[in-house]
Amino acid sequence: MALIQLDNVSKVFSSRKVDVEAVRGFSLSIRKGEVVTLVGASGCGKTTVLNMVAGFIAPTSGKVFLEGEPVSRVEPRCGMIFQSYALFPWLTVRENVEFGPKVNGISRKTRKDLARNYIEMVGLTGFADSYPGELSGGMRQRVALCRALANKPDILLCDEPFAALDAMTRQVMQQELLNIVSRSGQTVFFITHSIDEALILSDRVVVMSARPGQVKAVYDIDLSRPRKIDVQLTDEYLKIKRKIWDLVEEEVKASMNM
């Protein structure tokens, strides 16, 4: 049984002036422990799909299932990592990481141990008492990753979390995410506009069509792990990148003609 199952899901956003069909007939299965990435043109419904899995919004038709159960509310088995960090600026790094466990009634000692372990895991030892405003963008995103992991979610939902980072920091964060996931066993559902990022991270890449978003193609990424930056120079990598780029380019052009 799939951990995540989207079954013929559609979503229409209605207003007094116009109805916008963001997603149409979207079906996808994700197995436990997989890293699956959505790529596609801006506005194709990638974030809408992620938000339906998280339970933030409900599909207009079709069903979303987690472990065979329909998603009917904000899903506690999912941890969300946003592009904008979404940290509390008045809390320290440690307090931000402890926030979820504290709300969930975890004892003070246990949540402090959790925070310390995750802060060490992402290389922020020495910054536990710093505030987000005192950190670089890459460091803040590491804190956001720690905060999501501290709740021990079964699934990490990542909405372009590294898009605002410089190229070098982005590569470091990609490797950091892969290292953490390999140790923790989390399932990852990831959104990106970067085909290179998708190929570095993913077991499978899903290409979405222009709005209304549908599954246009799914690629198994059989590149060996661990994937270092030099994999981008291999013929196998360049071949799959060209295939995905051709499809994405086609859908970007289609979206611009809407």
Tens digit of each residue's pLDDT (9 = 90 or more) over 79-133: 888 877 788 999 999 999 999 888 888 899 999 998 998 898 888 889 999 999 9
Q: Is residue 103 part of a domain?
A: yes
Instruction: Please give the pLDDT value at position 58.
Output: 95
Asked whether the predicted pLDDT for residue 16 surpasses 80, the reply is no
Q: Note whether 189 and 34 are within 8 A (CB).
A: no
Q: Is residue 165 part of a domain?
A: no
DSSP-H helix ranges across the chain: 46-54, 93-103, 108-121, 137-150, 167-184, 195-201, 235-256
Asked whether the predicted pLDDT for residue 155 surpasses 70, the reply is yes
Instruction: Please give the pLDDT value at position 106.
Output: 87
Report the C-alpha gap between 228 and 209 in whole angstroms. Answer: 29
Q: How many domains does the chain have?
A: 1
Asked whether the predicted pLDDT for residue 146 surpasses 90, the reply is no
Strands of the sheet with 155-159, listed across from one edge: 78-81, 155-159, 187-191, 35-39, 204-208, 215-220
Place of tokens 């079709």: 62
Q: Is residue 232 part of a domain?
A: no
Rounded mean pLDDT, 5-16: 93
Closest CA to 40 of 174, 194, 164, 243: 194
Q: Is residue 119 part of a domain?
A: yes
pLDDT band at 1 (very low <50, low <70, confident <90, very high): confident
Q: Is residue 104 part of a domain?
A: yes
Asked whether the predicted pLDDT for residue 49 surpasses 90, the reply is yes
In terms of residue numbers, what domain contains 112? 80-152
Asked whether the predicted pLDDT for residue 69 surpasses 80, the reply is yes
Instruction: Please give the pLDDT value at position 53.
Output: 96
Instruction: Please give the pLDDT value at position 247.
Output: 92
Q: Is residue 99 part of a domain?
A: yes
Q: Note whether 2 and 30 are within 8 A (CB).
A: yes
pLDDT band at 258 (very low <50, low <70, confident <90, very high): low
At 171, list the tokens: 């590569």
Answer whether 0.85 is exceeded by the pTM. Answer: yes
Q: Is residue 69 part of a domain?
A: no
Q: Is residue 122 part of a domain?
A: yes
DSSP 210-235: SSSB-EEEEEE----SS--GGGGGSH
- At residue 185, the 3 state secondary structure works out as coil
Mean per-residue pLDDT over the chain, rounded: 90
Report the C-alpha gap between 89 and 143 in whole angstroms. Answer: 12
Instruction: Please give the pLDDT value at position 183.
Output: 79
